[in-house]
Every structure is written in structure tokens, then in C-alpha cells.
Amino acid sequence: MATTSMPWTEEMVEAAGSKLHILKSGTGQPLLILHDETGHPGWLRYHAALAQHYTLYMPLHPGCGQSERLDWVMNIRDLACWYLDALDELGLGQVPVIGGSLGGWLAAEMATMCPQQFKRLVLVGAMGVRPPVGEIFDMFLVVSRAYLHASFADPASTAEYQQLYGVDPTPEQTETWELARELASLVGWRPYMHDPALPHVLRRVRKLPTLIVWGRQDAIVPVSAGEAYHQAIPGSRLVVLDHCGHRPEIEQADEFVRVVREFLQD
């Protein structure tokens, strides 16, 4: 377990034949949060705000943190299948889910396979759909810190960016980034960070309330991909935040929390 000074507790659980590292915090109904291709970022303002109303379940994907790596997982659909089995064993029932970037792609894939698993779906700058205009940024052409910098429209004016990434990373932080990047390369290398079949099966999500949140200045996954998700999921809602890059939960945290809480409470 984490120390009492930590805002979350940590658990190692057996799920779907593997060891899964889960962070938990808050009170209320469960809310699943799936991290992106840089790993769990630490405790953020938006976590704290949502934890006042929900119990956050924040698993670290296989191969990240202390979660066991799955040698048989070769693509995002393999990972989605494993996660659905793991969620069955965790016994969370029908749960709302927030997925950012790679985590959003993962959530979308799971939702197409088993829409009844989720109560509501929130996709934040999600990979997975090829942008009709522009391209998904190649994260493997730069080091992690440069990729994170490119994820913000105005990193210098984003206080939480400065706290998280404004100083030289510790060895532990660097390891977190590299383990997550390794998983991302495994499941999203070819075709790069999208699934050509996904837009054709997203209609299965039409009965699942879906919110799509994007930064208008997203330089990692162009906003045209958000529009493509919106068009492919009947009844979905698209919110595009101005003066915002790929991490709206950090760069526009207050507005992000307002929009997400309003959606979850509908």
C-alpha cells in the first residue's frame, strides 16, 4: 500500500491470469481512468477534483509500473480483450471510463467489443482513428521530454506542466516514460497509432453515451481525428477546447473537469 502521505492507495491484484498494478483514490461510484502512452503522470488537479465524487481506478497497463508484461499482446485489440477479462474479474460492474490518447484508443476498442461494460465513455485526444486532415505525431522520433513538450499548446503558461515536466526527470520518471513507450510501440507501431477497422465498428457504441474532448491546438493527434470519432459514433458529443493542446486535462483542467463532470452526471 502507499504511504499515508500519498493521495492514492496501491494494489497488486490478480486479473485475467496476470498481475495488475492499480492506483485507487476517492469516494463514490467507480470511475475507470486509462493512462496514455507516457504512463501514469502522477496525481493531477483533475484527479483530485473527480476523486471528490468518484472512486478512481487507475490501472497501470501491462508492462508499466509493476503490472506484468503480457508477451502474447501484439496489438491494441489483444490488449482490449485482456482488459475486458480483467474488468470482469475486478467486479466493477458497468463503469464510466475516461481514456486519454493511447488510453482513449484502448477504451474505444473495448467499447466496440463490449459496449455494455461501460456506463459512459470519455475519449480525450484519442489515438486509434487516422486523422482525415494532418497526421499523428511520431513519438519515436523524439525523446520523451520533447514529446511531452509538443503535447501542450503553451507549456510555459501551464503551471502543472512546469511542476510535472519543467525540471530534469528522475531516473524513476524516465523509466516510467520508457516502459510506456515500449508498450505503445508494441500495440501501435504498424499502422502507426490507429486501427483502420475502428471507424467501421464504432457504430456499436451508438447506445453508449460518449463524450469526445479535444484541444483545438493538438499537435499530437489533430482535431480532425476527434471530428472523425464524432461522425462515427452516433449521438456522441464533441467538445473542442481553445488554447489547448493534447493534454486538456492538464492545460485546461478547470474546463475539462466541468465538462466531464456535467457529462458523467447527466
Per-position DSSP letters for 86-97, written without gaps between them:
HHHHHT--SEEE
How far is residue 74's CA from residue 243's CA, in Å, rounded to a whole number? 36
Residue 23 lies in a domain: yes
Domain residues for the domain of 118 are: 9-265
CB 259 within 8 A of CB 239: yes
The pLDDT tens digits for 17-65 are 999 999 999 999 999 999 999 999 999 999 999 999 999 999 999 999 9
Task: Give yes or no for a cis peptide into 191 (omega within 30° of 0).
Answer: yes
3-state class (DSSP) for residue 177 = helix
Amino acid at 126: A
pTM of the predicted structure, to 2 decimals:
0.96
Q: Domain with 155 in it: what CATH number?
A: 3.40.50.1820
Number of domains in the chain: 1
Average pLDDT of the chain is 96
| Residue 104, φ and ψ in degrees, nearest 5 | -70, -40
Residue 234 lies in a domain: yes
Residue 2 lies in a domain: no
Question: Side-chain half-sphere of 206: how many Cα atoms within 13 Å?
Answer: 8
Confidence of residue 1 (pLDDT cuts 50, 70, 90): very low
Confidence of residue 97 (pLDDT cuts 50, 70, 90): very high
Report whether pLDDT(203) > 60: yes
CB 94 within 8 A of CB 70: no
Percent of the chain with pLDDT over 70: 98
Confidence of residue 94 (pLDDT cuts 50, 70, 90): very high
Residue 19 lies in a domain: yes
C-alpha cell at 266: 447527466
